[in-house]
Amino acid sequence: MTTITPLIAGNWKMNGLKQSLSEISELAQLLTTGEAPRALVCICPPATLLHAVAEQGASSGILAGGQDCHTANAGAHTGDISVSMLADAGAQYVIVGHSERRADHGESDDMVRAKAEAAIGAGLKPIVCVGESEAQRDAGQAVSVVAAQLAASLPDAAGQHSVVVAYEPIWAIGTGRTPNSADIAEIHDAIRAQLVERFGETGATIQILYGGSLKPQNAREILAIENVNGGLVGGASLLAKDFYTIISAV
């Protein structure tokens, strides 16, 4: 049986000002004074706070990540941020292909794959997001939709470099609704089988995170499901106490 160290990653999305760094301080205190966490802990703040989060979290093991990146390393791309900039600011991870990026910015699987390749090239670990809409789930297409996204969004380099896959049912994000344990298990098992088929033994070691209204109330149940190797947490990661409760559920 392959042992995978779980990852609990917090996606702050477009939330957080300098005063929000007090939550990082509180989280650091909880992580260092309580029982040692059995998971890797990462915060993906807005780019304006990335360097501060990386510096502030270092002593307590809090890793930092970006929420998006450009495919190019530098150039005339006003308002974009490159993987080398993220790395320079202290990031170790970067989220690519989040459903909000796919929806709000029309990002295709090809674009997501190119971003993941850029991240790997800069020594970052991409967190590649996949997930189905409510209509697709209702039509019985959840597994096939996620499989197609995963095949097209994950670069071949994932066989030789560290990547993370995050399953986020789009209809569950920020709605308070979550799939039942059997539904989550079905998708995560299908993702694992696809990773093993494509990458062999390496595919058995890739972390598969669950994202979609993961909260303190449901974390223990969801994180206990086989092939759920952590979580991509939205709103609950903004408050140190809530996020720590989820980390402690591992």
In the set 23, 107, 132, 168, the catalytic residue is: 168
Identify the CA nearest to 84 among candidates 123, 117, 50: 123
Phi/psi at 15 (5° precision)? -135, 145
Identify the CA nearest to 191 among candidates 142, 237, 120, 231: 142
Q: Write the CA distances from 81 to 59, 87, 101, 219, integer angstroms.
A: 26, 11, 14, 32
132 has catalytic annotation: no
168 has catalytic annotation: yes
For 188-200, b/e burial (b = at least 16 CB within 10 A) is bbbbbebbbeebe
Tell me the C-alpha distance between 199 and 242, whole Å: 35
CB distance 42 to 62 below 8 Å: yes
CA 57 to chain centre: 18
Tell me the C-alpha distance between 9 and 40, whole Å: 8
In the set 98, 100, 117, 188, the catalytic residue is: 98
Residues annotated catalytic, as ranges: 98, 168
